[in-house]
Structure 1
Amino acid sequence: MAQHVRDVMTTDLVTVEPQASVTSVAEMMRDEDVGAVLVTDGEQLRGLVTDRDLIVRSVAAGHDPGSTTVIDACSDEMITVGPGDDLEHAIDVMREHSVRRVPVVDQKQHAVGVVSLGDLAIERDPHSALGDISAASPNT
């Protein structure tokens, strides 16, 4: 059984620059079949934006998704874990901050992965409903 974040994290990262429009990020999410994108400025991680963030913080707020930048839809608080952190620590961080995904950063604070609630469910309880759903192929 995996004990560290590196054992379960996703390493196939999808990134976007802070000035990208909400529309372009939504299109990227659709095309890449992901629900979260890392916002990076060069190698520096600036945030993580989810499909829900785009809807709640941009579209539902009445902002024009074509001219609103993704950095405006990101959470103000950057929460991260390290690849060597125990899975229990990642779970505690997700619980404490009520988030479903957390960027994984190295010592230089460069993104090296993302750990999600689904990743943890597959590892800890693969036969649970969330584990089954998370392990299944996407509905496209």
Structure 2
Amino acid sequence: MARTVSELMTTHPTVVEVTDTLRAVAETMATQDVGALVVAEDGVVTGIVTDRDLVVRGLATGIGLDAPVGQLATGDPLTVAPDDDLVDVVRIMREQAVRRVPVVEGGQAVGILSIGDLAVALDPDSALADISEAPPND
């Protein structure tokens, strides 16, 4: 039987609104020790933002901390469904060179799947799996 996204995804992803400030988003990432958040408008997934986005698209270009996250989030992100086949999703992630995909059902984020999640489950002896399972740096 084929494995599905729901078996490996991180459930209950943190979702921020397109109008949330970069400061609030950065604080949320720091507090939750995550590197990516799902971006939504009125609860409907519209994008994803990473810690790298905050630095490269935000700080490096002079966008202020009070700017809305929707200004620099990756819009129209690749999304998958909880019942999608993992083999297909891994192939698509490789083809599109993405590290994380929101898992969406009815327009709402129900999870997020990362290459770290895949490494831990499918290649547990890899360096990426070790890093992904390590406790956060303090």
Pick the TM interval, shorter chain: over 0.9
Distance in 2 (alpha carbons) for counterparts of 1:12 and 1:105:
11
What is the distance in 1 between the residues matched to 2:46 and 2:76?
10
Aligned-pair identity (%):
46
The Cα offsets for residues 70-89 of structure 1, whole Å up to 9 and x where unpaired, read as: 01111133210111111112
Aligned ranges for residues 26-105 of structure 1 at < 5 Å? 26-66=26-66, 68-105=67-104
Question: How far apart are the structure 1 equivalents of 2:2 and 2:133?
Answer: 16
Partners in 1 of 2:42 and 2:19 — Cα distance? Answer: 12
Q: Give distance in 2, aligned partners of 1:2 and 1:122.
A: 18
**Deviations along 1:4-56, whole A, 9 cap, x unmatched?**
11000000311111111111100110011111111122321111111011111
Gaps spanning 5+ residues in structure 2: where?
none
Query: How much has 1:2 moved relative to structure 2?
Result: 7.6
Tell me if structure 2 keeps the 8 A contact 1:122–1:131. Answer: yes
* Equivalent residue pairs, number: 138
Task: For 1:102 and 1:18, locate their aligned partners in 2 and report how far apart those are by CA, in whole Å.
Answer: 18
Q: What does residue range 104-115 of structure 1 map to in structure 2 within 5 Å?
A: 104-106=103-105, 108-115=106-113
Higher strand share: 2
Residue 25 of structure 2 is matched in structure 1 by 25
Residue 10 of structure 2 is matched in structure 1 by 10
Paired position in structure 2 for 1:126 = 124
Give the alignment's TM-score, normalised by structure 1.
0.92
Which consecutive unaligned segments of at least 5 residues does structure 1 have?
A: none
Kindly provide the amino acid, as one letter, of the partner of residue 70 in structure 2. Answer: I
How far apart are the structure 2 equivalents of 1:103 and 1:16? Answer: 13
